Structure 1
């Protein structure tokens, strides 16, 4: 792998040299590809505009990030910013790469979580948009071109800030697209609460088992944290929310929040508003809504409120009492955020249902 890593470092050095005046733009692109945005940005937008798509986005974000965490432990990938300084490596120059405030991620590098989660979620949004709006061929080319440019920008930004090697972002992008193709046709709207609870339990449990299996095999599952702490330019750039366990507990909490809402809140709202709970009835999730300008305008209050709730929740972070406490708060926070987003998005639909019922009377 030394040959691949050396070539990757040359690519990173070239990007940092050629685009050194665009560092803020690169970090903005990297931020847009942050896996957290799948839950805090793409999920609220998708769910407010089209519920089935929002549900797919939530599940794909959770599944892709969970699988990514397991693969990171198994593949044991390096990161450029520490690899060039680590005496274990065989880099010819050992020249330090430029580091930025988003550089010092603590998990292993392969495959890229930004590339995998973002490609999975955005690919789902593209498929849903084309399927539900059925645009002309020219517009379809435009949509696919925007997707390609967006993913290219995210991947290049991850290389620029020296967080990933080229092969890691390519692998992450391909795995994210493949996962979406496998999951897209599955009906995720009528999952029972028991399945959501099971998934919420299995996600962190599988990672804990993997963690201790690596220890049992004589490997250090926290090797990347040690390297990140040692070679990061500034200690304040290292954050607990970049660890693999924090990501997995975010996924588990989101899945539980979805199951809780679908089991409890949806049933309560339907009962209070006289909405049919029969599978054969016409429900909100069964209707296909075109994401037209009119639809976006009608949903704007729901979108703004949902995004506001997510941003407030994301800014509420616990103190560093312990890593376990931090992970528990992350689990609980994303469970509640998903419930609040889904509840907020329901208000507009309920008003529409009441208007329809009044007209029918």
Structure 2
């Protein structure tokens, strides 16, 4: 079975889903938004520090590695997205697919970044959550086993909803979501097995540097590295739906920036109140970061990507250094004064 036949069959499946699930379109678009990789960085990451420093660091590395490896696979596989593949086929008899505000992503299609990053980071959080739910004398009990199964089942339903939503909005073919899911779970399992507390700053900075070096090397070696961006602009029904923060180069800046920020600010002595401050103020600053990226002028792409790197680095620096220190100082200081 050749690629054209797979794409054709998948296109008809997507069209059928759009026809049958139209009344649930709003919920599916919300599921796609929940699975956006940016929210693994901006919401799940600060919340994960509530469990422990180690959990937060593993989620940080899982998000950065899954996001970056996803990009590397996309550049290697050079797979298409449904919303541009169908019109590129010209007069071939294929159904016309509807587009949505989240449809017009600019990178190659496979594997799905939404599934890969969500699966990687979610696996770590669900695993630690199940461990924390295990109370003394409860391990092995029927209640705990059922509770654990419910947590994992909920995670599975979330991943299924994200995958279905990505297919529904015509930004991925089904096989791309499946590949992203498997790759993400593998990344999550590997990262979750590594003890990262105590890692020196140079490891984070080295990781950031390697991401930049490897990414730009592969970028320069490609004959036409911006081919997918050109197709997105050409076939997206609304030019306003094409955003620079979905481009491959912004992904590189986000991943390298987050590791650089952690490297400059890594702090292994945060208290509970410090982690609480990280969760609260991290989500607030993450929201501000998201809004700031959206209003940065995109006329000069070099400036856009450079600012993206700096803002993501500052955001993570706040998570690992500034907010834990501030929370511990303010609340810890009040307790001592009493």
TM-score (norm 1): 0.84
Unpaired runs of at least 5, structure 1: 267-276, 278-282, 290-294
What is the alpha-carbon distance in structure 2 between the residues aligned to residue 27 and residue 300 of structure 1? 31
Distance of 2:205 and 2:95 partners within structure 1: 48
Compute the displacement of 1:299 (Å).
Answer: 7.0
Structure 2 Cα separation of the partners of residues 153 and 260 of structure 1: 37
Matched, 1:304 2:292: no
Q: What secondary structure sits across from 2:172 in the alignment?
A: coil
Alignment of 1:68-79 (within 5 A): 68-79=70-81
After superposition, residues 1-20 of structure 1 pair within 5 angstroms as 1-20=3-22
- Map 1:303-322; keep pairs closer than 5 Å: 303-317=279-293, 318-322=296-300
Aligned to 1:50: 52
Deviation string, structure 1 residues 218-246 (Cα, Å, up to 9, x no partner): xx221111111111101111111110110
CA contact (8 A) 2:119 2:185 kept: yes
**CA deviation after TM superposition for structure 1 residue 95, in Å:** 2.8
Q: Does the residue aligned with 1:187 lie in a helix, a strand or coil?
A: coil
Distance 1:69 1:302, change over 3 A: closer
1:305 Cα deviation (Å)?
A: 2.5
Cα RMSD for the two superposed structures: 2.3
For the Cα contact (< 8 Å) 1:64–1:176, is it kept in 2? yes
Distance change (3 Å), C-alpha of 1:72 and 1:310: same
Distance in 2 between residues matched to 1:79 and 1:306, nearest whole Å: 33
Residue deviations 1:118-142, cap 9 Å, x none?
Answer: 1100111111112233261111011
CA deviation vs aligned residue, 1:243-281 (integer Å, no higher than 9, x gap): 01101110100001111111xxx3xxxxxxxxxx8xxxx
Residue of 160, 166, 172 corresponding to 1:164: 172
Provide, for residues 29-57 of structure 1, a one-character-per-residue CA deviation record: whole Å limited to 9, x for no partner.
10100010011010011113422111111
Aligned to 2:225: 221
Match status 1:245 vs 2:253: no
The question of whether the paired residues in 2 share the 8 Å contact of 1:309 and 1:341 is answered with no
| Map of 2:323 onto structure 1 | 344
Structure 2's unaligned 5+ residue stretches are 136-143
**Following superposition of structure 1 onto structure 2, how do residues 1-361 of structure 1 map, counting pairs within 5 Å?**
1-87=3-89, 92-134=92-134, 136-215=144-223, 220-262=224-266, 266=267, 284=270, 303-317=279-293, 318-342=296-320, 343-350=322-329
User: In structure 2, the residue corresponding to 1:93 is in which secondary structure?
Assistant: coil
Counterpart secondary structure, 2:94: coil
The number of residue pairs the alignment matches comes to: 325
> Where does residue 274 of structure 1 map in the other structure?
none
